[in-house]
Amino acid sequence: MYTLNCRGKLLSLQKPVVMGILNITEDSFYAGSRHQINNTLLHTAEAMLRSGAAILDVGGQSTRPGSKKLTAAEEAAAVIPAITAICQAFPDAVISVDTFYASVAKEAVAAGAAMVNDISAGTLDATMFATVAALQVPYVLMHMQGNPQTMQQEPEYKDVVTEVLDFLLKKIALLQQAGVNDILVDPGFGFGKTTVHNFTLLKNLHVFSLLRRPVLLGVSRKGSIYRTLGITAEEALNGTTVLHTMGVLNGANLLRVHDVREAVEVIKLCEHY
């Protein structure tokens, strides 16, 4: 059983939990996840919490393939007021900041965030590991080949499962050396992977339990679903639910999702499988 210390709030992962996605950007691949800092953001946050989200993941940087990279200052200007507003409205909520900038992570935690979700595994900011260690918050370690601007330009692996596993293992060692205690691992679905790579990782998700860390699954409404089905991201909820079910049955401890209620239902039903 895993337990995360989120700035004094203990979050149990005895059974899988849900992380709701709150994007403060106009460039997210799924329009339904875009929010501005107004009543819409707070209404969405409240709806996610009421539906059973254990964590709210706030991000200001679009990381869809080919997206424009924001500076740390631009990203902070988007996410810090949002985190502040959510924490004021829902003081018991566990907030994660989705960033690869150490400075944004530091500001976010000061504003009330209690977790850092870094798509780059520290590769885009060399000070990230030391910063997270000093902040003493849980850290989501994700695998990505390349960067959001280049990652989908013909990604290649000899063995995607082994290579991602090896990458995460080495990064965990570095994080432990830096003094980070709570580490979650994310194979990085859609980040420098083809559809075949993504389904191979999903099929072998149980392998990542060898790392003895909670496994985060981030497949919600992604291209592997809607391209396979010949639909759009807006139409990909049913396909997302199918992949969430596969993931939970294969060892996922945390689902990062756009649609909280449906993901919570997956977890509840899988308990009886």
The pLDDT value recorded for residue 40 is: 86
The pLDDT score that the predictor gives to residue 33 is: 46
Distance, CA of 215 to CA of 188 (rounded, Å): 11
Listing DSSP states for the chain in one string gives: --EEEETTEEEE-SS-EEEEEEE--S--SSGGGB--TTHHHHHHHHHHHHHT-SEEEEE-S--STTPPPPPHHHHHHHHHHHHHHHHHH-TT--EEEE-S-HHHHHHHHHHT--EEEETTTTSS-TTHHHHHHHHT--EEEE--SS-TTTTTSS---SSHHHHHHHHHHHHHHHHHHHT---EEEE--TTSS--HHHHHHHHHTGGGGGGG-S-BEE--TT-HHHHHHHT--GGG-HHHHHHHHHHHHHTT-SEEEES-HHHHHHHHHHHTT-
**pTM of the entire structure?**
0.92
Low-confidence ranges of the chain (pLDDT < 50): 29-31, 33-34, 151
From 68, 256, 261, 268, the catalytic residue: 256
Known active-site residue 68: no
**197-248: per-residue pLDDT in tens?**
999 999 999 999 999 999 999 999 999 999 999 999 999 999 999 999 999 9
Q: Can you give the pLDDT at residue 204?
A: 98
pLDDT of residue 30: 41
Check 106, 222, 261, 268 and give the catalytic one.
222
222 counts as catalytic: yes
